[in-house]
Amino acid sequence: MSLDHVVCPFCSLLCDDLRVDVRDGRASVAAQGCERARALFPVPAGADALVDGRPADPGDALAHAARLLARARRPLLAGLGCDIHGLRAAVRLAERSGARLDHMHGAAQLRNLLPLRRGGSVLSTLSELRNRADVVLLAGTLGAAAPRLFERCLDDSGQGLFGELHRRVLIVGSPLLRPRLRPAGAELAIDCPNESLGELFGLLRARLAGAPLQAASWRGIDMARIDALLDTLRAARYGVLLWDAGELDHPGADLAVRAMLDLVVDLNAATRWAALPLGGDDGGASAQQVCTWLAGYPLRMRFAQGVPRSDPLQRTADELLADDECDLLLWISAFDPARLPPPTRCPTIVLGRADMRAPPGVEVFIPVATPGVQQRGALTRVDQVVTLPLGAPAPASLPGVAEVLARLQQELVHAAA
């Protein structure tokens, strides 16, 4: 059986043009998918639940997980690699159990969230990027986390939705700059370490404001090249600046993001520019939206006596677990079997794909259905303006994340009665 126009849940672009074949209960990508989609669509139809590494009845595994959660006083619900329905159930369970919530890509998400909180900016969408942008500036990334970005949004066909469109794609920073890895048509404008992007965008803002500078070069780059880049940015009719905070993993990365957002605002005094942060894989974009809808705060957050509290400067899950600040880890990863929980000395419950190999030390492993392959669901796209429904081309009898978490919450209610 073949299905057309299948939505791919394995990156935040949510490409909706895949053709998927289903044979013997397993799905495979027949056309349009990227390498990541081809690797992740084939999911086994089932797997054993495990307790202390040994196969167990699913009901017994769930009951054991509920007992662990009932005893916990400082639980951490992390990973959160699931769809909107699973995320809603995770927030409700966190409220009931007084847990902290953090996504597996939470550190990268904060590098965008904190600068946006400080001053806002002008944001774009994938549709605007594809149909209007005549100049695109990639800062420190080639969109590796969104493999079809160039194919779907940055092709130079010469035609946009609103007429003729000729696009220039410029790169600044050092994202896989070897020419063979650079997409066709992309131009390397400024070659500098990603750690220096904050300086570069501050310099561009200064030149845009007409500030006099004594230096004739910056980090060995002639100032004329920087001025030439700025001239291109100013000449754009509709420019879009893209970056991936997951690739800006260095001290002060949030300040670099703030400088990018400020340059976008400055350019809008004379032309039209917008920003579009990449990332949000493994349900990350949805996690921010769902937490904000239900609790009034984005991640990171926690519940104390049923009251949600924003905790954006909370340390990462790895740091909390390393310092024994949490006494239970409930890790969710329904999309990618390689997204394993961090090592910890505290009891660990994992809700994972059927082909995940839970690491030693996991007390309970419960296999769950993969949204978009084995179970219907919904995810928010990277630009956070569209939520797409996910199909189930290869339905499985495995429970979904939302079902497992709801049953855990019921067990907690019964235990407290």
415 C-beta neighbours (distance < 10 Å), count: 12
CATH architecture of 44-105+282-416: 3-Layer(aba) Sandwich (3.40)
What are the tokens at 285? 């974009």
Has residue 311 got a pLDDT over 90? no
Task: Give the whole-angstrom CA distance, residue 28 versus residue 374.
Answer: 12
Predicted confidence at residue 412, as pLDDT, reads: 84
Is it the case that residue 182 has pLDDT exceeding 70?
no
387 beta partners: 380
Encode pLDDT of 216-246 as tens digits: 899 999 999 999 999 999 999 999 999 999 9
Euclidean distance between CA atoms 330 and 91, whole angstroms: 13
- Under the banding of pLDDT at 50, 70 and 90, the label for residue 415 is low
Angle of CA points 23, 25, 30, to nearest 5° = 40
**What are the residue ranges spanned by the domains of the chain?**
44-105+282-416, 109-278
- Neighbouring CB atoms inside 10 A of 404's CB total 27
What are the C-alpha distances in Å from 8 to residues 119, 223, 300, 315, 402? 34, 44, 26, 32, 20
Q: Which long-range contacts (CB under 8 A, 24 or more apart) does 57-62 make?
A: 58/366, 58/399, 61/364, 61/365, 61/366, 62/366, 62/404, 62/407, 62/408, 62/411
Q: Left (φ > 0), alpha (ψ -120 to 50) or beta: where does 79 sit?
A: left
**Domain 109-278 belongs to what topology?**
Dimethylsulfoxide Reductase; domain 2 (3.40.228)
Mean pLDDT of all residues belonging to the chain: 92
What are the Cα distances from residue 50, in Å, to 57, 60, 70, 199, 351?
8, 9, 19, 51, 11
Give pLDDT, residue 416: 62
Residues 98-104: what's their mean pLDDT? 94
pLDDT 10s digits, 242-301: 999 999 999 999 999 999 999 999 999 999 999 999 999 999 999 999 999 999 998 989
- Rounded to whole angstroms, the Cα distance separating 187 from 170 reads 5
Predicted pLDDT of residue 320: 82
pLDDT bracket for residue 378 (50, 70, 90): very high
Residues 409/116, Cβ–Cβ less than 8 Å: no
pLDDT tens-place string over residues 130-165: 999 999 999 999 888 899 999 999 887 676 677 788
C-beta of residue 365 within 8 angstroms of C-beta of residue 55:
no
The reported pLDDT for the residue numbered 260 is 97
Q: What is the mean pLDDT of residues 78-107?
A: 96
CB 414 within 8 A of CB 154: no
Count H helices, E strands: the chain? 12, 23
